[in-house]
């Protein structure tokens, strides 16, 4: 199947963004709690998908959580402890860009935890997620799946593109060499944590545009929102100047190599005779 054209993608994305705004208003009005987990291999498209979800909604409602490496104090805590404070309260949608599932994937594969610690996590997490769901949270877990050939292409693109080279880390290169270790870890994660109350949903993302639209469509279908009747909005009349007129501004303006108005200075307006 050929990759989706940009024009078609933007048309569908605009429609889905309208639905996401409707979902947002429903979440705010009902006090619903939504938690979305995004996992997947490096370059699978988590960041782009999350941006597609959040770029037209309020960051006060949609919060993105991407935690750094744990501190020494956090390493001594119960493993999921540092994630729990970020779970949604009423009227919030929380999106995890990687989550507690680090302990099922990157940590055991790269040696950041012991096999026993990963095994204990996989045994414990289904009941932890049951408690999250029982508290009223709508929990959706997405695994973004990319082929080895497409991952190679994207990583090579990062190496060659100065706009993307910052995305490439030593861990990315190490992870790239461990494809099948990640596959085994993923398979065990699915076996242990794909439950009736918190199932995994797999999205193929070799075509990023199709993958994003598919995830957004599925997300909207699994949150039971109902569009609210919009209130009619009418702009109020602007106040009269009552003697105020624009001065010639002497403060500094940025250069305007792409053009601007009045060379960066606003011309003073004539006093409004109606204010006298």
Rounded CA separation 36/243 (Å): 54
pLDDT of 263 over the 70 cut:
no
Least confident window among 141-155, 201-215, 249-263: 249-263
Long-range pairs for 231-240 at CB < 8 Å and ≥24 separation? 240/272, 240/274, 240/275
The class (CATH top level) of 6-74+81-221 is: alpha beta
| pLDDT tier at 246, thresholds 50, 70, 90 | confident
Whole-number percent of the chain with pLDDT over 90: 79
**Would you state the pLDDT for residue 61?**
98
Q: Structural domain boundaries of the chain?
A: 6-74+81-221
pLDDT at 252: 82
Mean predicted confidence (pLDDT) in 155-171? 87
Going through the chain in order, the beta strands assigned E by DSSP cover 33-40, 62-65, 92-97, 137-145, 200-204
Question: What is the rounded distance in angstroms from the CA atom of residue 41 to the CA atom of residue 172?
Answer: 9
Note the pLDDT of residue 276: 43
What pLDDT was estimated at residue 262? 58
pLDDT tens digits, 27-50:
999 999 999 999 999 999 999 999
Residue 261 confidence (pLDDT): 65
- Tokens, residue 224: 């039971």
Residue 134, pLDDT score = 98
pLDDT at 237 over 90: yes
Q: Contact, 42 vs 157, CB < 8 A?
A: no
Q: Is the pLDDT of residue 164 over 90?
A: no
Q: For 148-182, give one letter per residue: b (16+ CB within 10 A) or e.
A: eebbeebbeebeeeeeeeeebeeeeeebbeeeeeb
**Residue 265: pLDDT over 90:** no
Is the pLDDT reported for residue 87 higher than 50? yes
Q: What is the mean pLDDT of the chain?
A: 92
Q: Which pLDDT score is estimated for 96?
A: 98
Number of Cα atoms under 13 Å in the Cβ half of residue 224: 7
Q: Could you give the CA distance from residue 212 to residue 227 in angstroms, rounded to a whole number?
A: 22
pLDDT band at residue 266 using 50, 70 and 90 as cut-offs: low
Phi, psi (deg, nearest 5) at residue 247: -85, 170
**Which of 82-96, 164-178, 220-234 is the most confident on average?**
82-96
The 10 Å Cβ neighbour count of residue 137 is 20
Statement: residue 272 has pLDDT above 60: no
């Amino acid at each position: 199947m050929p990759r989706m054209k940009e024009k078609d993608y933007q048309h569908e994305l605009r429609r889905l963004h309208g639905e996401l705004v409707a979902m947002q208003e429903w979440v705010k009005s009902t006090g619903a709690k939504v938690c979305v987990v995004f996992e997947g291999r490096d370059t699978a498209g988590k960041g782009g998908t999350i941006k597609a979800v959040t770029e037209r909604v309020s960051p006060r409602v949609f919060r993105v959580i991407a935690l750094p490496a744990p501190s020494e104090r956090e390493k001594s805590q119960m493993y999921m402890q540092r994630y729990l404070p970020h779970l949604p309260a009423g009227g919030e949608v929380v999106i995890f860009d990687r989550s507690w599932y680090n302990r099922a994937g990157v940590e055991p594969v790269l040696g950041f935890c012991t096999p026993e610690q990963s095994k204990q996590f996989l045994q414990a997490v289904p009941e932890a997620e049951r408690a999250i769901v029982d508290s009223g949270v709508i929990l959706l877990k997405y695994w973004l799946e990319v082929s080895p050939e497409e991952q190679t292409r994207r990583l090579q693109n990062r190496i060659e593109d100065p706009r993307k080279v910052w995305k490439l880390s030593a861990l990315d290169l190490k992870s790239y060499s461990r494809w099948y270790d990640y596959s085994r870890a993923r398979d065990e994660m699915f076996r242990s944590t794909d439950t009736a109350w918190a199932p995994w949903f797999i999205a193929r993302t070799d075509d990023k545009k199709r993958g994003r639209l598919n995830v957004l469509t599925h997300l909207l279908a699994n949150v039971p929102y109902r569009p609210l009747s919009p209130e009619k909005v009418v702009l109020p009349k602007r106040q009269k100047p009552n003697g105020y007129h624009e001065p010639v501004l002497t403060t500094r303006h940025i250069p305007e190599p792409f053009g601007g108005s009045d060379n960066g200075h606003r011309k003073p307006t004539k006093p409004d005779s109606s204010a006298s």
